[in-house]
Amino acid sequence: MKLKIDHLIRSKRRTLSLIVETDGTLTVRAPQRMKETAIRKFVEQQGDWIKRKQARAQEDALPERQFVPGEYFMYLGEEFPLRLVQRQKPALVMDKVFKLSESAQPQAKSVFEAWYKNQAGTLIPERVNLYARRDKFKFNKLRISSARKRWGSCSAKRTLSFTWRLVMAPLDVIDYVVVHELCHLIRLDHSEKYWDLVAGILPDYKLKRKWLKDNGRFLIL
Ligand SMILES: [Zn+2]
| pLDDT 10s digits, 109-150 | 999 999 999 999 999 999 999 999 999 999 999 999 998 879
Q: H or E element: which one contains 80?
A: strand 78-85
State in Å: Cα 200 to ligand 1 middle.
16
Angle at 193 between CA 159 and CA 152, to 5 degrees: 30
CATH of the domain at 136: 3.30.2010.10
Judge if 94 and 168 occupy the same domain: no
Same domain, 210 and 120: yes
Residue 212: pLDDT above 90? yes
Label residue 142 exposed, middle or buried (CB < 10 Å: 0-12, 13-18, 19+): middle
Taking 3-state DSSP, the helix, strand and coil percentages for the chain, each rounded to the nearest 5, stand at 45, 20, 30
User: Are both 96 and 122 inside the same structural domain?
Assistant: no
Quote the domain boundaries for residue 33: 7-61
Q: Count of CB atoms within 10 A of residue 192's CB? A: 7
Task: Tell me the pLDDT tens digit for each residue of 3-62.
Answer: 889 999 999 999 999 999 888 889 999 999 999 999 999 999 999 999 999 888 877 777
**CB count, 10 Å around CB of 33?**
6
Q: In this structure, is residue 2 part of a structural domain?
A: no
Yes or no: say if 125 and 142 are a contact pair by the CB < 8 Å rule. yes
Tell me, yes or no, whether 88 and 137 share the same domain: no
> pLDDT for 59-87, tens place per residue?
777 777 889 998 999 999 999 999 999 98
Residues 120 and 210 in one domain: yes
Same structural domain for residues 133 and 184? Answer: yes
What distance in angstroms lies between residue 60's CA and the mean position of ligand 1's atoms? 26
Residues 117 and 175 in one domain: yes
Q: Are residues 78 and 95 in the same domain?
A: yes
Q: Is the pLDDT of residue 105 over 80?
A: yes
Mean pLDDT of the 75-102 span: 94
Confidence label for 220 from pLDDT (cuts 50, 70 and 90):
confident
Distance 190 CA to ligand 1 centre (A): 6
pLDDT at 33: 92
Is the domain of 98 the same as that of 156? Answer: no
180 Cα to the center of ligand 1, angstroms = 6
Instruction: Indicate if 98 and 158 belong to the same structural domain.
Output: no
195 and 142 within one domain: yes
Assess whether pLDDT exceeds 90 at residue 192.
yes
* Confidence (pTM): 0.75
Residue 1, domain member (yes or no): no
121 lies in the same domain as 185:
yes
Give 3 Cα–ligand 1 centroid separation in angstroms. Answer: 27
Whether residue 1 is predicted with pLDDT greater than 70 in this model: the reply is no
Q: Residue 137 falls within a domain, yes or no?
A: yes
155 has a pLDDT exceeding 90: yes
For 58-77, give the DSSP string. HHHHSPPP---TT-EEEETT
**Number of folded domains that form the chain:** 3
| Residue 148: inside a domain | yes
